[in-house]
Amino acid sequence: MASPSPVEVCVKAAVGAPEILGDCPFSQRVLLTLEEKNVPYEMKLIDVSNKPEWFLEISPEGKVPVLKCDEGKWVPDSDVITQILEEKYPSPSLATPPEFASVGSKIFSSFIKFLKSKDPNDGSEQALVDELSSLDQHLKDNGPFINGEAISAADLSLAPKLFHLETCLSHFKGWNVPENLTHVHAYMKLLFEQESFKKTKAEKQYVIAGWEPKVNA
C-alpha cells in the first residue's frame, strides 16, 4: 500500500530569515496538530513581508496558515484547519470537551493589550493576571493538561501563545508570569517539553523580531 503523500501547509517564515520557520502561533498550532496526529506534511515557508504571487492566488487575503485539502482546495484559518484534521485523522483524538474548549481563550488578547500598553495604570496587566489565575485554578482542578491526562486541541492552541507571552513580556517589559501561579508554570514547562513543540517552535529571537514593530507602533 502506497504511503499517503504529505499534507501541504503554508506557514509564516521568520522575519529577516525566509528559510527559517517563523513566529506565527496559529501556524504552529496547525503544525502541532499534524505532529501529534503523526500526519506527514510538507511545510511551505511564506515570507509575509514579500508574499509570492502563487501564494496570493491560493490565499487572496495573504494570511497564514493555509492547508491544502484533498480536492486541491486551500483552506485558511487555524480553527477550520484543525477541525478538518480532527475529522480526517480521528486517531489519536485531540478533541477537547465543549465545557473546556474555551479555557484560556482570552489570554492571548489580554497579553497583546498588556504588551502594547504604554500606560501602567490602564488595568491591562491585572486583566492578564486574572486570565492566568483562572487558567491556574482550572489546571489545579483538572490538570496537568486542560482536559486532564491527555493533550488536546485546547492545549495545542494555547501552547504557542504562552510561548509568545513568556518570550515577549520578559524581553520587552521585564515581566514574568507570577510565581504563585504554580500550575501555570508547570503547565508551560510540560507543553514546551513536548517533542511536537520543540520541533515546531520558532526561535525566541524570531518571536521577538515578529513582535517588535507592533510593540513600537
**Confidence bin at 3 (pLDDT 50/70/90):** low
Residues in the chain: 217
Domains and CATH numbers, the chain: 7-88 (3.40.30.10), 98-215 (1.20.1050.10)
pLDDT in tens, 16-34: 999 999 999 999 999 999 9
Q: What is the pTM of this model?
A: 0.96
Statement: residue 194 has pLDDT above 50: yes
DSSP-assigned letter for residue 99: G
Quote the CA–CA distance of 97 and 86 in Å, as a whole number: 13
pLDDT in tens, 139-190: 999 999 999 999 999 999 999 999 999 999 999 999 999 999 999 999 999 9
Quote the CA–CA distance of 173 and 211 in Å, as a whole number: 13
Question: Which sequence positions are flagged as catalytic?
Answer: 24
Residue among 159, 164, 149 at smallest CA distance from 195: 159
Statement: residue 39 has pLDDT above 60: yes
Query: Residue 82: which residues within 8 A CB-CB, separation 6 or more?
Result: 29, 30, 33, 94, 153, 156, 157
Percentage of the chain lying above the pLDDT 90 cut: 95
